[in-house]
């Protein structure tokens, strides 16, 4: 059994978090060797840097007890998704579009196209009738990833406990999250941690990958 401890995120964990993000970035699987997205810095801008920079108190890492600098997993998120979306658009969205058009377009065309698809999603009005109800009842959201080779050892469950406790302290009534229908590890993990399926939507999860739906899970939190 590998020993680990969960602690609040610190800037020295950044490279480790980026590594895990990439190693789990293809709908839960490793991005290495796929030629699906090669601009690692941009990947970080899109999927995790906002939280680490603007909501570090909502971020936790699992560190190896044997190698205390080694990050084995992380959880990041926000207590108020409406506010997070607004701030993300004001901060990282601009950085992402700039890097994508000035650097990525030429250096990493595969990342350029993927980023355009993602940013088109963020340009829509995300506050629909459905999401307004979701964000009212389950205003917090999370993203969780554990390094390949260290999954299935209880790290994810402990990261969840730390994040849920933090959300309870902020009086969030509930948490939601989105995953891909083909990510069986994640589907089992969320059900096991008492999240329930809330909705399912068609949509392009990754360009060129068909038949994958996007599943929203929710969990109500008991007040602290
Ligand atoms: C999903 C994830 C965060 C769970 O964290 P974890 O540390 O592996 O999970 P835990 O060890 O705490 O919990 C184990 C449970 O999760 C599921 N699970 C985790 N890893 C699994 C694997 N490799 N195969 C099958 N099920 C797995 C199972 O339900 C398992 O319970 P069981 O052994 O009783 O069946 C982790 O597997 C992961 O990072 N996966 C890749 C990235 C990802 O998909 N992130 C979520 C994106 S929405």
> What is the topology classification, in CATH, of domain 4-172?
Aminopeptidase (3.40.630)
Specify the pLDDT at position 1.
54
pLDDT value of position 24: 98
| pLDDT tens readout for residues 171-195 | 999 999 999 999 999 999 999 999 9
- Best residue among 189, 192, 212, 217 to mutate for probing ligand 1, ranked by most atoms within 8 Å of CB: 189
140-146 and 174-180 as β-strands: parallel, antiparallel, unpaired? Answer: parallel
Q: Is the CB of 216 under 6 A from ligand 1?
A: no
pLDDT at 71: 98
pLDDT of residue 31: 96
Is the pLDDT at 170 greater than 80? The verdict is: yes
Burial 97-128 (b: 16+ CB within 10 A, else e): eebbeeebeeebeebbbbbeebeeeeeeeeee
Give residue 206's pLDDT.
81
Q: Does the model's pTM come out above 0.85?
A: yes
pLDDT surpasses 90 at 127: no
DSSP codes of every residue in 109-128 = HHHHHHHHHHHHHHHS----
């Amino acid at each position: 059994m590998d020993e680990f401890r969960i602690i609040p995120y610190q800037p020295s964990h950044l490279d480790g978090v980026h590594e895990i993000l990439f190693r789990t970035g293809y709908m839960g699987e490793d991005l290495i060797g796929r030629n699906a997205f090669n601009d690692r810095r941009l990947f970080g801008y899109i999927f995790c840097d906002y939280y680490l920079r603007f909501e570090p108190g909502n971020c936790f890492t699992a560190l190896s007890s044997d190698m205390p600098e080694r990050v084995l997993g992380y959880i990041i998120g926000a207590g108020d998704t409406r506010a997070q979306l607004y701030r993300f658009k004001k901060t990282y969205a601009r950085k992402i579009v700039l890097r994508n058009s000035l650097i990525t377009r030429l250096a990493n065309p595969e990342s350029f196209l993927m980023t355009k698809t993602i940013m088109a999603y963020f340009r829509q009005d995300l506050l629909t009738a459905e999401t307004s109800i979701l964000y009212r009842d389950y205003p917090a959201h999370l993203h969780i990833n554990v390094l390949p080779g260290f999954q299935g050892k209880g790290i994810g469950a402990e990261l969840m406990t730390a994040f849920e406790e933090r959300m309870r302290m902020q009086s969030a009534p509930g948490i939601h999250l989105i995953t891909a229908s083909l990510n069986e590890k994640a589907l089992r993990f969320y059900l096991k941690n008492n999240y329930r399926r809330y909705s399912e939507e068609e949509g392009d999860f990754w360009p060129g990958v068909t038949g994958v739906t996007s599943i929203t899970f929710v969990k109500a939190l008991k007040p602290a």
